[in-house]
Amino acid sequence: MAKTVVQEFTKGLWAEIPPFRLVLGLCPTLAVTKAVDGGIGMGIATTFVLVCSNVLVSILRNVIPKQVRIACFIVVIATFVTVVELLMQAFAYPLFLQLGIFIPLIVVNCIVLGRAEAFASKNKIIPSLADGLGIGIGFTLSLTTLATIREILGNGSFYNISLFGPSFEPFTFMIEAPGAFICLGLMLGIMNMLGKK
Amino acid sequence: MGDYILLIISCIFINNILLMQYLGTCPFMGTTKKMDTALGMAMAVIFVLVMAGSITWVVNDALLKPFGFEFLRTLAFILVIASLVQFVEMFLRKSIPTLYAGLGIFLPLITTNCAVLGTCLINIREEYSLTEALFSSFSYAAGFGLALILFAGIRERIILARVPRPLKDTAIGLVTAGMLSLAFMAFKGMV
């Protein structure tokens, strides 16, 4: 039992790490990784929603009728997103402003709905918790990595601390929309190369 | 009138929902492998988004605002969109079967398309009036469709090209989308 829980947790960190192995949830990945703090903040918010919705869906899995399960999952997820939205507004207002529209959009992040449908609705509470936590942390790691690359190249800084001094000419392309697409595409290619059997 | 034209152009080209605001990337990657599916998805999004944009605006203005329930906006909007999609699906199946056959499988996917919810939220955030919201919903959806169709055209050619194995499929798709987005960045100087 204990072993499977650990397995559920660790698969999110490498074997099924979103958004590279599970190509889902690309929109927030592209949008919030301009800077490292945004990436980490978004990762933590998504992890919170994932864990809570996984646990609640798992508790309710025998109560929810099969035909309307997607609608029920969406309501559960939307509730927790509202919780995150209000919490961030209260305790992390600058981050709330920076992420803007992408906090409510966690509702339609396919990763969250995907885990509720594919895992939590079929498994007990503890594995669902481990699954949510693992996938969430994996997502946070990916966002942070991508944001680190983009912020260092595009802004010459890491976590808003300047790295190269004033003479550095930032490669602003990287923090614009095209840079996001290309950077994610290349990283996906690298991950495919590393994970090749 | 000039304001509306400006709004339409800026929503379609300058702030293109897909290539400039990164919304709706998942269906973008999923449905652009063939021109037919891209066309179907584009039509379905335009159809639903115009309705969703105006209904969510009314819900926000008539229900949430007067009672101070603005914090429930996310929940209310996603419910409106989900039930609207279901309703449109049932209505089309009964009354316009040919259109239903064309849009059929794409309709349920729209519920989790962030471009739809995103546009509804942008409409509220920018404090558009009802007509402005209607125009912006239509032109954001048209911009989404335009990007989808352009990209499907490019992607059909990529299949014929020799691509390094690790970059196949989604990875090269994202890089190509980056190039397309670079082209759209040129519109920034237009207004």
Structural domain harbouring A27: 2-194
Q: Give the model's pLDDT for residue B191.
A: 66
* pLDDT per residue of chain A (197 residues) written in tens, 0 to 9: 566 788 888 887 878 888 887 777 888 888 888 889 999 999 999 999 999 999 999 999 989 888 888 888 989 999 999 999 999 999 999 999 988 889 999 988 888 888 888 889 888 999 999 999 999 999 999 999 999 999 888 888 888 788 877 777 888 888 888 999 999 999 988 888 887 64
Domain count, chain A: 1
Residue of A101, A191, A196 to mutate, testing the B interface (most B Cβ within 10 Å of its Cβ): A101
**B94-112, pLDDT tens digit by residue?**
888 887 877 766 777 787 7
Q: How far does A7 lie from chain B, in Å, by closest CA?
A: 27
pLDDT-derived band at B28 (thresholds 50, 70, 90) equals confident
**B30-73, pLDDT tens digit by residue?**
788 888 888 888 888 898 899 999 999 999 999 888 888 888 88
Residues on chain B touching A70 (C-beta within 8 angstroms): 111
Are A104 and B117 inside 8 Å of each other by CB?
yes
- Residue A33 CA to residue A149 CA, distance in Å, equals 9
Nearest Cβ partner for B74 among A26, A71, A85:
A85
The set of residues, in sequence order, having a beta carbon less than 8 Å from that of A166 and lying 6+ positions away, is none
Q: Which B residues, 65 through 124, put their C-beta within 8 Å of a C-beta on chain A?
A: 71-75, 77-79, 82, 111-114, 117-118, 121-122
- Residue A107 CA to residue A97 CA, distance in Å, equals 18
Q: Which amino acid is at B63?
A: L
Query: pTM for the full model?
Result: 0.89
Distances (CA, A) of A107 to A85, B71, B118: 11, 14, 11
Residues on chain A touching B79 (C-beta within 8 angstroms): 74-75, 78
Residues on chain A touching B77 (C-beta within 8 angstroms): 104
